Each structure stands twice: as C-alpha cells, then as structure tokens.
Amino acid sequence: KNEVEQSPQNLTAQEGEFITINCSYSVGISALHWLQQHPGGGIVSLFMLSSGKKKHGRLIATINIQEKHSSLHITASHPRDSAVYICAVHNTDKLIFGTGTRLQVFP
Amino acid sequence: EPEVTQTPSHQVTQMGQEVILRCVPISNHLYFYWYRQILGQKVEFLVSFYNNEISEKSEIFDDQFSVERPDGSNFTLKIRSTKLEDSAMYFCASSETNNEQFFGPGTRLTVL
C-alpha cells in the first residue's frame, strides 16, 4: 500500500469549474506539500502545510491532521492550470510523494 | 529570484559508465536532496544531505550512488556503473531549514 494516496488519478474539467484533488497519507509527517509538475518535467512548490488552510490566488489547500487528509482546490479553473498536481509528505529528512493527479482543463 | 540549477539537462550514457549529475542549490540553503522519477512513475526520494554528510537515504541509494558537495556551491550525484534501470529524471532540491524544498529543473538520464 502506498504511504501517500491521491485521488483522482486523472481529472478533466471545463474552464471555470471548481476542482478538488484529495490526498491521504498513512505515515507521520511534519508537513504536507502540494507541488505542480508541468509537461516539461519541472516541479514547483505550491503550498507547504502543517495545519489548517492556506490560500494563494485561486488555489486553496487544507489539511486535517487527525484524519491524515489534505485537499487542493482550484477555483475558476483555467486551461493554464493543466498540469500534474502532486501531494508529498515531509517525513523525517525526506519527502514521500503521491502518484500525482493529471488535470486537464479545456476552454 | 534565486533558483536551483542543474546540469546537464539531458545526459545519454552507455550501460556501465559513470555519470555525475550536478546541482547548484540556492546559496543560503543548508539542506540538499536528490530525487528521481522514472518515466510514468512517481517521484522517489534518493538521499538527503546536511552538514557535509548524508542524513537519510533510501533503499534505492545503494553502493553505486554517492553524493558530494565538493565546494561551497555545487552538490553532485554520482552513479558509478549505470544500469538500464537508472534511466530517469533526476531532481535536485534544496531547503533553508529542512522545510519548504525548492526543486531544480531536473536532469534526464538515458542509459543505453
């Protein structure tokens, strides 16, 4: 069983839709990261969370430590949001990655 | 804005050859990491490095792998005798306080 599970694996949406990506984990963590990976392969950090909720523009990330669950929301989605979104948990001195959610937003 | 850089962007090598992947972390960062991503798979942790020594390594990071910080700016990953299964994208990351990590653009290693 993977230590970090994401759902869904693939997601398609029409421009303007509200998107939710979920992440569950089974290990102890000091923080949870949401990352974005574009087709060229580069990885960009979106959020680092250890509790509560963070917002950056149209992106919102929440975490529930007791339930070992986090969500990434995208409001008013846009085709430029198309990418792979990865949940990664900070465990000791390393990140443990989920398999990613491939999001495609169509105009 | 400071960023992590990696060279080369693409390395092609023959099986059994040694390769060195280079990274320049952000200048005031103290924690350094290597990850890899085999095509179509998730990103996997290889090794973390702090205070001139390995702080944690994964099962993947066997005796064929080594890391070094040869000077004040570079952080290198060496694979002594490459195998076909070492073909992957290798990402370097750095962190100021072992919290938020900043990733380089990756080196695509192809072993023939």
Return the closest-CA partner of residue A5 out of B94, B9, B68, B42. Answer: B42
A45:B102 CB<8 A = yes
Residue B70, Cβ neighbours under 10 Å: how many? Answer: 9
pLDDT beyond 80 at B98: no
Percent of chain B with pLDDT over 70: 100
Residue range B29-37: mean pLDDT, rounded:
95
pLDDT beyond 80 at B26: yes
Q: Which of B35, B41, B99 sits opposite A31 (nearest CB)?
A: B99
pLDDT value of position B18: 97
User: How many angstroms away from the CA of A13 is the closest CA of chain B?
Assistant: 22
A97:B43 CB<8 A = yes
pLDDT value of position B55: 94
Nearest CA in chain A to B46: A94
**Rounded to 5, what percent of chain B is helix, strand, coil?**
5, 50, 45
The one-digit pLDDT tens for each residue of chain A (107 residues) are 689 999 999 999 999 999 999 999 999 999 999 999 988 778 999 999 999 999 999 999 999 999 999 999 999 999 999 999 999 999 888 899 999 999 999 99
User: How many angstroms away from the CA of A53 is the closest CA of chain B?
Assistant: 16
Return the closest-CA partner of residue A47 out of A59, A39, A38, A37. Answer: A59
Residue range B24-41: mean pLDDT, rounded:
94
With cut-offs at 50, 70 and 90, classify the pLDDT of residue B71.
Answer: confident
Residue range B54-69: mean pLDDT, rounded:
94
Would you call A39 an interface residue with chain B, using a CB distance cutoff of 8 Å?
Answer: no
pLDDT value of position B73: 85
